[in-house]
């Protein structure tokens, strides 16, 4: 399997590309939320909302990391030895 020009990795697969896209999106959201939370005081009324969104983004990341690793291994295992 060869990846198209938008793929992060070669070789790749549509499921792996999808998981990697989701990982990038979740990672960007996590970075933004962490930066935002660092600026808020512990008593800020919005803190609970942003902490909840951070938890959601972390679980979303976890949901895509494990299958990405599994799919990555599958793709690599199917590659010719030479």
Residue 4, pLDDT > 80, answer no
Domain boundaries along the sequence of the chain: 19-77
pLDDT for residue 1: 43
Q: How confident is the model over 40-72, as pLDDT tens digits? A: 999 999 999 999 999 999 999 999 999 999 999
pTM of structure: 0.80
Distance CA(79)–CA(36), nearest Å, equals 43
Q: How confident is the model over 9-32, as pLDDT tens digits? A: 677 888 999 999 999 999 999 999
Residue 2, pLDDT > 50, answer no
pLDDT for residue 52: 97
């Amino acid at each position: 399997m060869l990846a198209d020009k938008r793929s992060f990795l070669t070789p790749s697969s549509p499921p792996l590309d999808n998981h990697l896209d989701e990982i990038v999106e979740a990672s960007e959201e996590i970075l933004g939320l962490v930066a935002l939370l660092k600026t808020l005081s512990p008593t800020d009324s919005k803190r609970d909302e942003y902490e909840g969104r951070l938890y959601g983004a972390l679980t979303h990341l976890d949901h895509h990391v494990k299958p990405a690793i599994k799919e990555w291994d599958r793709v690599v295992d199917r590659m010719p030895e030479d």
